[in-house]
Structures are given as C-alpha cells and as structure tokens.
C-alpha cells in the first residue's frame, strides 16, 4: 500500500457550486485516502456476508446492508478526524489516552482478529484456485499467487498487478449492480426489508454480525487514520475534504453491497440456493451474464481476495510498527518486511482446507471485538469541546458514533457468545 501524492493540495479544497456531477468530478480530482481502503473494505468478507444474507433471508436484511454503508463512512471519518485534529494516528492517540499497557493489550487483540481474517482470506483464495485450475494444480498455483502478493507488497514499487486486481473487483461490483435492473427486485419486499427488525435466530444474527464486521468495525478508523497520516493530511484544514472523501467512499461501498445483496435476494433466495461455494454465488448474476457469470464472479472475487490479503497484511505491519517503534516511516523496508507475517498466515489458511465461504463470514464479526473499544474512545473525544474545540462533532455525528458502537457491541457479543 504505497504512499500516493495527491493530485491537488487538500488545503485548496472548496466544493464548487453547481450540480451533483460537477461536485463529484471535483471531489474525485483529489486522490483521497478512502481510495486506499476501498480494496480492503469492499472485499470478499463483505461480498460473502451480503450474498449469504440475500440468499438465506431474502430482503429481510436490506436495512442492515444500507445502514452498514452509512456506518462504514462514519467510523472512518471519526478516525480521520482524530488524526486531523491531533496530528497522531489513532493508535498513538489512544495510547496517549489510556496508557501503554492498556493500549498494547487492545491492539494485540486487534492484530489477532486481523490475522484470523487474513487466514480466512487465504482459505478463500485456495477455494477460488480449485475452481479455476482444478484441485491437482490449485496448490501450486496458490503458492505462486501468494509469492506474487509477497513480492508486490514487500519488495516491489510496481503496483500494476495490484491495480488490475482492484479493477477486477470493481468490475464484479458494477456487474452485480447492473444485474439488479435485470432481476427487478420486488418493490413491496424492498419496502418491507428496509424496516429494521430483530434477528429471527442465531444464523441471522451471525450474518448481521458478519455484515457489520466487514463494513463498520472500529478498526476501519485505524486503517483510514494510517492512510491519512501517510498522505500528510493530518491537519484540521483537511477535514472539509475528508468529509466528502468519505461520502464518496460510503456511496461506492453501499452500491457494491446492495448490488450483491439484492442479486442474492432476487435470484438465489426464490430458488432455494444456499451459498456454500463461489459457484453458488455466481448463479446470482446469471440473469445478466448467463453461464459466463461464473467466470466474472470468480475473477472479480479473486481480485478482491488478492488485494485484501496484501492490504490487510500491510495495515497489520503498520500496527506492529506502532507497537514496537521500528521506524518513523511506514514505508521503511524494516516495516514492509512485517507484511510477510500476514502473507504467511494466509498461506497456512489456504493449505489447511475447510469451507472457505462459511469461514469467511464466521470470522468477520471478530473485527468488532477490539473495534468497539476504539469507536468508544474516538466518539468520546471527537464529541469533546476540550479536545476538538471548533471541530467538535455535530449532534448527528455523535449519534452516528453511538449507533456504530451499539452495532459493534452486538456483533462482538454474537461471536463471543457463539464461541463460548
């Protein structure tokens, strides 16, 4: 996740008058940190949780998918706000507030959950290779793929393949969204699904926790904070742009999630198809792509896993650097070598077997275990006049932080209770 130079100076950001398209094009001219975490947030965990939600429960969880898109932007914005006001990344800020021992314990928990998710990503990558190359060749191809990820994220400055993988993921999301217009979801069921309701059982509760875990864990604040810091946008003057950067990101994320969820609800649920493999999920876009849908889905999903393994391993290396004070610069080769820890864990995950799709959903909610503490601290301080001064949260931002915290508590409790 190499540092990028913004195309324009963020201090010059001033939203122009005019229509929505004009404003959107102006925002997109500023290459924001949100673009750096899209490939991590809009990844296979979110896609799997959404399509399982649609296939198992129809439109019932539509409200969760919509709310998760809003919360995704909200939690990252709160993290960026702390960094812009204090000049510190979220890790260093929290360490200064709760002390070295407590913060170390917290972020060790965060790291452990990240590595569990990376492990599940490795299992998913192997599953996709089984489909594309057959089980006999899949192991060799899988090891080669992991070696390529290691080279690109640790040793190379050429990110062309990473960009190609991101484009593959984006195209899959676009096709799912277009597919919605072909399947024509039932308007009455859409209206019913947008109304919040309590989960009807353990399985639905786990799916809800997986969606929240993939979209709005408190750790998203940490990811975005590191990106803002690396971009040198850690100053109050950047807050105006950061807000719109997150609006664009949240919109993209919601479109991605809704396209996949609605395809599952409209196509798979009526047919009684449960998603146990990528081949099952691919059937959701058959109305648009026919039999070619399998290739589109597998290729796009492969791109999402590729960038997520590398992206999450990179973010984990930043966290270890903050814990151990290895270097002042996250791009230092000493820090970049730490990326190999996550990549090795993903390799183990891929060689260990198991049901990749179910494993992916079952670990996503674990991101909220440490994340809920992060959200609680950040919401408190950004709502404080003493800390934030004139940049203190508006009432609706604080309310959003409380809602995100509540869902993180629910998600974390669902998983902890299930394991116990």
Residues 162-190: tens digit of each pLDDT? 666 667 767 777 888 888 888 888 889 99
pLDDT at 4: 42
pLDDT at 284: 87
Residue 35 — pLDDT band, cuts 50, 70, 90? Answer: low
pLDDT at 182: 85
**Contact present, 243 and 53 (Cβ < 8 Å):** no
Model confidence at 118: pLDDT above 50: yes
pLDDT at 178: 86
**Stretch 106-128: mean pLDDT:** 88
Model confidence at 389: pLDDT above 80: yes
Q: What is the DSSP string of 350-417?
A: HHH-S-HHHHHHHHHTTHHHHHHHHHHHHHHHHT-HHHHGGGPPPHHHHHHHHHHHHHHHHHHHHHHH
| Residue 147 to residue 391: CA distance in whole angstroms | 45
Distances from the Cα of 375 to the Cαs of 91, 217, 393, 400, in angstroms? Answer: 12, 8, 14, 11
Residue 10 — pLDDT band, cuts 50, 70, 90? Answer: low
**Stretch 198-224: mean pLDDT:** 79
Model confidence at 283: pLDDT above 70: yes
**Stretch 116-139: mean pLDDT:** 86
State the chain's mean pLDDT as an integer: 82
pLDDT at 363: 73
pLDDT at 2: 41
Q: Where are the domains of the chain?
A: 38-419
What token pair was written down for 327? 């270097």
Which position has the token pair 């809704």? 258
Model confidence at 212: pLDDT above 70: yes
Residues 317-375: tens digit of each pLDDT? 988 988 888 988 877 888 889 999 999 999 998 888 766 667 776 677 777 778 888 99
What token pair was written down for 175? 């096709």
The alpha carbon of 39 is separated from its chain's Cα centroid by a whole number of angstroms, namely 7
What token pair was written down for 140? 């060799």
pLDDT at 193: 93
Which is more confident, 192 or 72?
192
pLDDT at 399: 93
Which of 3-7, 100-104, 194-198, 238-242 has the least mean pLDDT? 3-7
Of all residues in the chain, the percent with pLDDT exceeding 90 is 22
Model confidence at 22: pLDDT above 80: no
Which position has the token pair 């399985």? 203
Model confidence at 238: pLDDT above 90: no
Residues 41-67: tens digit of each pLDDT? 667 778 888 888 999 999 999 999 999
pLDDT at 60: 93
Residue 30 — pLDDT band, cuts 50, 70, 90? Answer: low
pLDDT at 1: 39
The stretches of 158-275 forming alpha helices (DSSP H) are: 160-183, 187-193, 202-215, 219-230, 239-263, 269-271
pLDDT at 82: 93
Of all residues in the chain, the percent with pLDDT exceeding 70 is 85
Which is more confident, 294 or 33?
294
Residues 136-164: tens digit of each pLDDT? 888 899 899 999 989 888 877 656 666 66
Model confidence at 32: pLDDT above 70: no
Model confidence at 315: pLDDT above 70: yes
**Contact present, 73 and 42 (Cβ < 8 Å):** no
Angle, vertex CA 19, rays to CA 15 and CA 22, nearest 5: 60
Domain 38-419: assigned CATH number: 1.20.1740.10
Model confidence at 406: pLDDT above 50: yes
Q: 92-95: which pairs have CB atoms within 8 A and are 24 or more residues apart?
A: 92/322, 93/381, 94/374, 94/377, 95/322
**Stretch 256-262: mean pLDDT:** 89
| Residue 330 to residue 90: CA distance in whole angstroms | 15
């Amino acid at each position: 996740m190499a540092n990028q130079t913004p195309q324009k100076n963020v201090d010059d950001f001033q939203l122009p008058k005019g229509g929505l398209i004009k404003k959107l094009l102006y925002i997109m001219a500023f290459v924001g940190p949100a673009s750096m975490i899209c490939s991590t947030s809009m990844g296979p965990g979110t896609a799997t949780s959404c399509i399982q939600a649609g296939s198992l429960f129809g439109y019932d969880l539509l409200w969760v998918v919509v709310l998760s898109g809003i919360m995704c932007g909200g939690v990252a914005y709160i993290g960026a706000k702390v960094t812009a006001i204090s000049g510190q990344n979220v890790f260093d800020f929290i360490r200064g507030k709760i002390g070295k021992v407590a913060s170390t314990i917290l972020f060790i928990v965060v790291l452990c959950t990240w590595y569990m998710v990376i492990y599940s990503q490795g299992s998913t990558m192997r599953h996709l290779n089984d489909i594309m190359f057959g089980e006999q060749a899949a192991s060799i191809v899988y090891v080669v793929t992991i070696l390529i990820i290691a080279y690109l994220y640790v040793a190379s400055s050429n990110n062309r393949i990473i960009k190609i993988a991101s484009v593959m993921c984006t195209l899959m999301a676009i096709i799912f969204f277009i597919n919605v217009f072909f399947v024509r979801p039932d308007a009455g069921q859409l209206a019913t699904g947008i109304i919040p309701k309590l989960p009807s059982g353990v399985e639905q509760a786990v799916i809800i926790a997986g969606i929240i875990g993939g979209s709005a864990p408190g750790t998203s604040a940490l990811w975005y904070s590191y990106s803002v810091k690396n971009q040198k946008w850690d100053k109050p003057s950047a807050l105006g742009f950061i807000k719109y950067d997150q609006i664009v990101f949240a919109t993209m994320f919601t479109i991605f999630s809704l396209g996949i969820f609605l395809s599952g609800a409209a196509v798979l649920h009526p047919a009684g198809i449960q998603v146990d493999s990528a081949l099952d999920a691919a059937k959701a876009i058959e109305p648009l792509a026919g039999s070619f849908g399998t290739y589109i889905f597998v290729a796009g999903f492969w791109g999402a896993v590729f960038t997520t393994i590398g992206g999450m391993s990179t973010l984990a290396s930043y966290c270890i650097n903050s814990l151990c004070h290895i270097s002042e610069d996250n791009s230092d080769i000493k820090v970049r070598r730490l990326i190999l820890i996550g990549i090795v864990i993903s390799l183990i995950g891929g060689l260990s077997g198991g049901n990749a799709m179910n494993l992916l959903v079952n670990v996503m909610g674990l991101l909220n275990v440490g994340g809920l503490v992060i959200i609680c601290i950040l919401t408190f301080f950004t709502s404080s006049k003493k800390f934030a001064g004139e940049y203190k949260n508006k009432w609706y931002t604080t309310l959003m932080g409380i809602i995100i915290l509540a869902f993180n508590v629910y998600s974390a409790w669902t998983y902890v209770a299930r394991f116990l």
